A and B are shown apart, each in its own frame.
Chain A
């Protein structure tokens, strides 16, 4: 079941994607992305000690927003642009929920396009990673 440009409308919500990355998942992400900043796996690193914990890679959250959109698209469209800002820290073993809504849809240059707002929420409901995605169908 893939979405189509014709079937979506402004205000639609994307299925939520929930993640609860523990240290093992962050190590897998470090290996997969090549980002071995110790702040994301080493509790003895000076920055981790100053913060009191290791923290989830901002780019892990960016990638999960991409996964949330990819799951929704079901390869029936293509991401043209995906952005987010890292506004707050997330910590291991805490649930992160990826959410999204369709903000607008339009046609331009023969392409059927949609703009989405996407973001991640902490267990307390705080939006830590606001972003914008443009998809073409």
Chain B
């Protein structure tokens, strides 16, 4: 928790930073695991025949699935859905981490069998004064997901809070 946290020029200079691309395979197993984690009982997210009856190519990725990482030890972040070289390093020295909000914009349906390439970017840095947690740093990220046919299928904007 910080009383007098400030965004330095060095931090600010990283806004606009863009990551190397990172591949996310959407698989039947990953779709089922996400659906189970949320608690879906809708068989469209588990059973390929049901998915096809509902008009999908394969099991559809449930709403808000994006952000589910492909984890590779030594390359991926332990908590956030990005590899260390796909998120900017901001030396803020704040220990607490919270999620501020998420917006996902979809341009097409995403199904098991798709391979998405994600490029993450640092959209902005902000501070917010709070009574409970002191001065918070808000990191605004925008990730763009492009499918195997070169089509941008989704953008996800998120706010990561450090305090």
Contact = CB atoms under 8 A, between A and B. Distances in A.
B23 to A, nearest CB: 15
Interface stretch (A6-14, A55-63, A103-111): A55-63
Interface size class of B (residues with CB under 8 A): 35 or more
A63 to B, nearest CB: 4
B78 A36 contact: yes
B109 A32 contact: no
SS of A interface (majority):
helix
B36 A28 contact: yes
Contact of B101 (A75, A79, A84): A84
Contacts of B64: 59, 62-63, 65-66, 82
A60 B34 CA distance: 10
Interface of A: 19, 21, 25, 28-37, 39, 46-47, 57-60, 62-67, 69-71, 75, 78-86
Interface of B: 30, 33-40, 42, 44, 54-56, 62-64, 67-69, 71, 78-79, 81, 95-106, 109, 157
Across chains A and B, which 8 residue pairs bring their CB atoms closest together, nearest first? A32-B37, A66-B63, A83-B103, A29-B37, A58-B99, A85-B101, A32-B33, A32-B34
